[in-house]
Amino acid sequence: MEAERNRRKQLLDTQAQINVAEGHKQRVILESEGHLEAKSNEADAQFKTVVREAEARQQQSIMEASALAAQVEELARAIAKDKENITSEERQGVLSTLVELRRLEQLRAIAKGKGNSTYFFGDQAALGLGRGAEAYGVDYAEQVKKEMAARIPVPIPGRAEAVL
């Protein structure tokens, strides 16, 4: 009887270990499926974000083009000889002018930007500079030019010594 109890106990212990292992297996499977679903949801969200941003940029471009067309039309009407019949040449002239103005605005922004600097390379003594690191700045170069201009005598008509 005791042997039968031990056999049944062993059988139940083995079955319990199998059940525990099966439970661990199911837990790992469910966790990996959950991670897969989360990654899929993240990818879908990122895709939708990219698509919406592209659509927004497209809409912005359409709105800017419409505004530009309206601006060209109004300016062409303002300069047209016949206010009711605007020619394509008048529209083209206005558009060219607006494009040139935009280009000049961009050039102005570039010129005012922090990345726009002038540097002077070379020996400080050869440049007439020797007062430190600030000597390589544009303002200092302008100051040196003014000093050099002040040292050169200006010819005065009628005075021979000024010419030498």
Each residue of 98-134: pLDDT tens digit?
A: 899 989 999 888 888 877 666 655 555 555 555 554 5
Residue 141: name the closest of 158, 122, 120 by CA: 120
pTM: 0.45
Average pLDDT over residues 18-45: 95
| Number of helices followed by number of strands (H, E) in the chain | 4, 0
Domain spans of the chain? Answer: 2-116, 118-164
pLDDT in the model for residue 13: 94
Nearest to 91 by CA among 77, 101, 76, 81: 76
**Which region, left, alpha or beta, applies to residue 116 given φ > 0 means left and ψ of -120 to 50 means alpha?**
beta
Rounded percentage of the chain residues whose pLDDT exceeds 90: 46
Instruction: Convert the pLDDT of each residue in 60-69 to its tens digit.
Output: 999 999 998 9
* pLDDT given for residue 5 in this prediction: 93
Q: Which DSSP state fits 159?
A: -
Tell me, letter by letter, the H, E, C secondary structure of 103-130.
Answer: HHHHHHHHHHCCCCCCCCCCCCCCCCCC
Top-ranked range on mean pLDDT: pick from 34-48, 69-83, 84-98: 34-48
